[in-house]
Structure 1
Amino acid sequence: MPSAQAQTAAPTMAAAPSATATPIGIWKTIDDATREPRALIRIYTEPDGSLSGKIIKVLDKDANPEKRCDECTDDRKNQLIQGLRIIDKMRANGAIWDQGRILDPENGKLYRCKMSLEDGGRKLVVRGYIGVSLLGRSQTWFREE
């Protein structure tokens, strides 16, 4: 039978992974209108320690695999959507990641971005906004790995 000390430590140890979880990994996005899977996004660490994210696979069966970011106005202009970096410069700030930007590849617009984990790190709430966070919208992404 485990000691009282071991029994007390077990719940704390089980909770630790979610407290240190990060958005690094692969996430499935869901289309707001159809509720169907839209894309897989890989979030990764840059050499400067910030987080970036790119579309690694378009899941929409009706999407054109040759579709490009025609509306982008920066170095991503005319790049293929699959492989496109859509998140950059995200920095940890307590339990959230912010100070970065997210690109909407449909219209080429850049928005300020905040991300936070929910459900023990299985969900990522991504909020894009202009100006203040109240003037934006959120999506929930689902961890794939």
Structure 2
Amino acid sequence: MDFKPNRASAPDHKALAAIVLIVFGGAAHAQMTPVGTWRSIDDATKEPKAQVVITEANGVLTGRIEKVLKKDAQPGAVCDKCEGDRKDKPMEGLEIIRGAKKAEGKDVWEGGRVLDPEKGSDYRLRLTPIDGGQRLEVRGSIGPFGRTQTWTRVQ
């Protein structure tokens, strides 16, 4: 007896491939956002510095220090070098990212500000997810001068 597969029940490989691309492609694209939990790294020591949670409301990003990770961090430390509404606020819970919005047609968020709480300095901000959204380039600048840190996504 010859067995011939029924064409109606045979999987359509093109349709299956399309479904896989949609499901996994959508998951990868969903990660191409700064929204999530990140580990910042100290520029000098290369050690984890803080865990930062970035959220989005009405198209605007905000980021807060969820947990200070530096080995020499003082419990209950406050932002004594900060100015304005962040002066003397606890480091944990401190809002360090404000006002970034997605640039039209790009996976870049800009127009906001980022605070370096150790210096009390506030910089113009640009956030760029890289490596499929597993890392985040955080660029702070004043005029033509600035620096970029690369943060890693916390799973």
State how 1:81-96 maps to structure 2 within 5 Å: 81-93=91-103, 94-96=106-108
3-state SS of 2:140 partner: strand
Cα deviation for residue 82 of structure 1 reads 1.1
Distance of 2:24 and 2:81 partners within structure 1: 46
1:104 is matched with which residue? 116
Determine what percentage of the aligned residue pairs are the same residue.
44
3-state SS of 1:19 partner: helix
3-state SS of 2:86 partner: coil
TM-score between the two structures when normalised by the length of structure 1: 0.90
Cα deviation for residue 34 of structure 1 reads 1.0
2:69 is equivalent to residue 66 of structure 1: no
Gaps of 5+ in 1: none
Cα deviation for residue 61 of structure 1 reads 2.1
The answer to whether the 8 A contact 1:103-1:111 is kept is yes
The answer to whether the 8 A contact 2:59-2:102 is kept is no
3-state SS of 1:95 partner: coil
Gaps of 5+ in 2: 1-9
1:2 is matched with which residue? 11
1:76 is matched with which residue? 86
Q: Aligned pairs, how many?
A: 142
Larger Rg: 2
2:126 is equivalent to residue 114 of structure 1: yes
The answer to whether the 8 A contact 1:54-1:84 is kept is yes
The CA RMSD over aligned residues, in Å, is: 1.5
TM-score between the two structures when normalised by the length of structure 2: 0.84
2:138 is equivalent to residue 126 of structure 1: yes
1:25 is matched with which residue? 36
Distance of 1:49 and 1:117 partners within structure 2: 16
